[in-house]
Amino acid sequence: QKEVEQNSGPLSVPEGAIASLNCTYSDRVSQSFFWYRQYSGKSPELIMSIYSNGDKEDGRFTAQLNKASQYVSLLIRDSQPSDSATYLCAVNEFSGGYNKLIFGAGTRLAVHP
Amino acid sequence: GAVVSQHPSRVICKSGTSVKIECRSLDFQATTMFWYRQFPKQSLMLMATSNEGSKATYEQGVEKDKFLINHASLTLSTLTVTSAHPEDSSFYICSARRQRTGEKLFFGSGTQLSVL
């Protein structure tokens, strides 16, 4: 199984600031990348998917992908206390005949008022 | 969005008992479902890929005789933790991929298993 690396945090940002979350992956052939948000005791919910190099924006969220550097990031603009959660980076891996999502350990984000 | 239902949400059991967890795709057919396990403050670890009508594919290090997976229909997969022990206590999450949504996974709400 290939690796997906994230800084565990916590990443603490003030309300209204930009939160920047980073992720690196080891499988060079991966083509699909995802950011999930997980609140404590809950299952993950999909925030963004990105497949091409560059930026992809959706509301306050921007995902950035650089396949050459094997790096994907998530920017959260105008951070709110409700954004406080663990953010999981996930990379698609084709193995054993199936497309599987491999998750990083997650970065805990704390947005303080 | 697609809905994946998982039951029960919480189980507390004695050591040595078996626990069955159900995962249903409510509004779509899921040929393949995935079972993950998550220990506190750790990431989701893929346990196995559940295939409708055939045997599950287990990840390295996952005991297939302990974690029995049955994918009886296109909308139902079950995970049975046999002879559970305290070290099996964890958050178990199922997920399914819907056709025509690419590789996005839709997750069930998870099952918190506590083995005393």
| pLDDT reported for residue B23 | 95
Read off the pLDDT band of A96 (50, 70, 90).
confident
Query: What is the percentage of chain A residues whose pLDDT exceeds 90?
Result: 78
Nearest residue to A21 via CA among A112, A96, A97, A83: A83
Minimal Cα–Cα distance from B44 to chain A, Å?
6
Average pLDDT value for residue range B58-81: 93
CB contact under 8 A, A49 and B104: yes
Q: Residue A94: what pLDDT?
A: 82
Confidence (pLDDT) at B99:
64
Dist CA B77 CA B34 (whole Å): 9
Say yes or no to pLDDT of B101 above 60: no
For residue A108, the surrounding DSSP H or E stretch is strand A107-112
pLDDT(B5) > 90 = yes
Nearest to A32 among B43, B103, B106 (CB): B103
Taking any CB pair shorter than 8 Å as contact, residues of chain A touching chain B are 1, 32, 34, 41-46, 49, 88, 90, 92, 96-106
Residue B103: the pLDDT is 65
Positions of E strands within B14-101: 19-25, 32-38, 45-51, 57-58, 67-73, 76-81, 90-97
